[in-house]
Structure 1
C-alpha cells in the first residue's frame, strides 16, 4: 500500500509539474504575444503623438504666417489712404505745385521701399514719374499701363488730379517679401528637442520636374536657401521625398511621409517623420520633421522588465507603462503649454513693439483702437486719442543725418512715456508720428494735458554737428463719437486736428470736437 501511495504521489507531482510547466509555457507564450502586441501599440501611440506634435506646430506656424500677411496688407492699405489724403491736400491747396509736391512725397526713401508709383500727363499720356516699375511702355496709355499693374497689387489708388493722372499702390510681391523675411527670422530662431525643425519650400510648378520649387527657408541648411528643387531628387535610400510631398499637397493640401536623412554633424542615417501642409496664398509648403530612431529605445525601455518577471510583474509593468504614458503625456502637455506661452510672449513682443523707439508699434495701436471702440460701443466711454508729429522733422534728417533723427525719435518717445500715466499707451504710428491713447482724460483737461506735452517735447536738446538744437511737436486730439462707424473715424479727426495745428503755426495742439 505504501509503495502505491508513493507511486501515486510521484504521479501527482509529475502531473502538477506537467500542468505547471504547460501553464508556465502558456503564460510565457501569452506574455510574449501580449508584449509584441504592446510593443506595436506603443509604437503606434508614439508615432501618433509625434504626428500630433508636428501637425499642431505646422498649423500654428501657418496661422502665424497668415496673420502676418493680413496685418501687412492692412498696414499698406492704410498707407495708401494716407498717401491719397496727402495728394488730395496738395491738389486742393496748391494745384500748381502738385507734381513737385507729389514727387517729393514719393521720393521719401521709406516710401520707395514699398510704393509702386506712376504719374502721367493727362493730355499726352506721357509718363512723367515712375517708382519701382522696371519698364514703362510709352506706346501704351496710362490706363493700359495701370491695367497691367493692377493685378499685381495688394492695394492701390488710381486718380486724376487736374493735368495729371496718378496711380500708386503696394505690390503683392512686396507683402510676400516681408512675410518671408519675418517667417525666416521666426523659423531660424525656433528650437525643438530631438533635432525637430521647420522648413519652407516654394512651389513654382505643380507639375513637378526639375526646378519645380525653391528651398525658401531651412534653418539647418541656410547656405542652400534659394536653391532650386527637383522631384527627381532622392534621399539616401533612393526614395523620392520631394515628389511624394508635392503629390500629397496637390491631392489633399497636406501629407505625412517619411524619408531617410543624415543627422546634423553625424554620419548616422535616420528615418524622419514629416508633416507638410500647403499655404496656397504663396504656394509655400510648410513642413516639420522629427526622427523616428528613438522609438525602439522607448519601447525596449518600457518592456525590458517583462522578460524577467512573472505575470504579477507584467501586470505591474503594464500599470507602470500606463502611468508612464500618462506622465509623459501630462509632462509633454505642460511643457508644450509652457513653450507656447513663452513663444506667444516673444512673438507679441516682436509683433507689437517698435524696434527703434521700443514703444508700441502701429499694429499694437490698431488692436488698441479696435478694443477701445468695442468698449465704447458698450459703455459710451472713450479714451482721448492724441496724434503727435515732430515739426520739420525732415530738416532734422537733412541737416543732421538719419542717425540723429533716430535718436530724436527715441528721446521723444522716452520723455513722453515718462510724463504719462501707467494706463496710457504710446504708439509709433509711422515715421515721426506717434499716437497717444489716454484712458479717462476728460475733454476739459485736454488743453492743459497737451500743453504739458508740448513743453515736455520742447524741453530736451539734441546734438546736430556739435550744435544743440530743440524740436517742437504738433498735436491733434479726438474722441470716439456716437456717429463713428469704426475706430478709424477718430484717428481721421485726430489727423485733421494735427493738420490744423501744423497749418496754424505748429508747436500747438488742436482738439477736433464734433
Structure 2
C-alpha cells in the first residue's frame, strides 16, 4: 500500500512539475516573442526615418557651408579690390590730372575688358573732378563711368561697392571705382572653381543654377556649375523640362526658392560616372547676391541600400536573439527536469534541511533588509538634505513646494514662503574664517528647525539664505512666525570656541495667492527680504512685496 501511495505521489509530482514547467515556459516565451517583435518593427521604422533625417541634415549642412564659403569669397574679393584702389588712388594723388589721364587712357576697343579676361586694377573706372565744385573733368569711360559721375561725391551706392578717392594738385580729386557686377563676376569665377573641386560622400557634389528670371519659363536660369555634367555648364534651363517620370524639377525648385528661399525635393537624374538615371533627394538654397541656387543631393537608391544594410543587421541580430533565447529555454527546461528528478530522489532528506535553511535565510534576509533600509535612509539624507545644516536642500525644497502649490490649488489652503538671510555673514567669514562661518550656519539651522512647527519645512536655499515653507499660514500669521524665528536667532549669541558671536537675520514673508507660480512667489519674498536689508537688517518684512517689484 505504501508503495502504491508513493508511486501515485511520484506520478502526481512529475506530472505537476512538467505541467508547471510548460506553463512557465509559455508564460515567459509568448510575451517575450510578442515584445521582441514589436521592438523589431519599431526599430526598423526608426532606422529608415533616422537615416533619411541624417541624410537631409548632411545635405543642408553641405549647402550652408558652401554658401558661407561663397560669401567669404565675395567679401574677400571686395576687400582685395578696395585695397588695390586705395593704393592706386594714393599713387595718383602725387600726379597732376594730365599725368593721370595719360596713364589711364581709355581702351580703344571699348569700355570693358573682353569676356573671360581676368579683372585687374587696369579695368578700374577713373573720374577726375574739381574738388571745389564737384564738376567732372575727365573719365576713362570704364566701369559705367557715366553712371558713376551722377553719384554725388561721398555718397554710397550699391552698384559701386568699391571706391577710393584722393586729392591731387591744382584743386582736383581722383576717384577709382568698380561696378558691383564686375567684382561679382570675379567672385563668381573664384567660387565656381572652389565648388568644382568639392567632392562629398557617395559621389555627391555641389551644383549651381544661376537665375535669370524668377518668373520661370524657358531660359529662366543657366547651369553655372555642375561637376556631373561639366559640358553643359552655361546652357539655359527651363522650368518646362521634365524628368523621365514627367516631373518638373526645375519648376518645383524655382517655386520653392520663390516661396521659402530653400527646399527639399525629389526628381530623377543621371548618376555620376554612369548613364543610370535614378531618383535623387536634393536640398537647394538661394544665395541672393549672385542669384545662385546652390544645391546638392543624394540618390535615394544609395539611401535605400544603407537602410537595407541596417535592417539586415537588425534582422540578423533579432534572429540570433530568438535562436539564443530558444536554446536558453530548452537548456533551462532540461536542467529543471534533472533538478526535479534529483529533488524527488532526495526529497525526504532535504525537507528538514530546507526548513532549517529557510529559517536561516529568513533571518539573513531580515538583516539585509534592515541594512538596506539604513543605507536607503542614509542615501535619502544625502540626496535631499544639506550636508552642513541637515535641512532640506534646494532640490528637495522645490519638490515640497510644488506639492504644497498643488494642494493649495485644490483646497484653497493658505501657506507662506519665508526667506531668511544671515546679516553681514561675509564679515563673519572674513573676520573669523570659513570654519567659524560653517559652525554659525549649522547652529542657526538648528535654532530654526527647533522653533518651527511640526508641519513647517525649512531648507538651506543657498549660501547664508534659508527658505521656510509655513503650512496653513496667511500673510499675518507668516509674519508672526518669522518674527518668532528672528527673536530666536538673535536672542542669544552663538558660541564658537571662546568667541561669542551676535548673529541676526532678516526675514521676508510672502503669502500664496491663487494663480501665482513658485518662481513668482520667490520674487515676491526676495523683494521683501531686500526691503528688510534696506531698512537696516534684523527685521521682518511681510508687506513690501505686495504689489512691489524687485529693482
TM-score, length-scaled by structure 1:
0.49
Larger Rg: 2
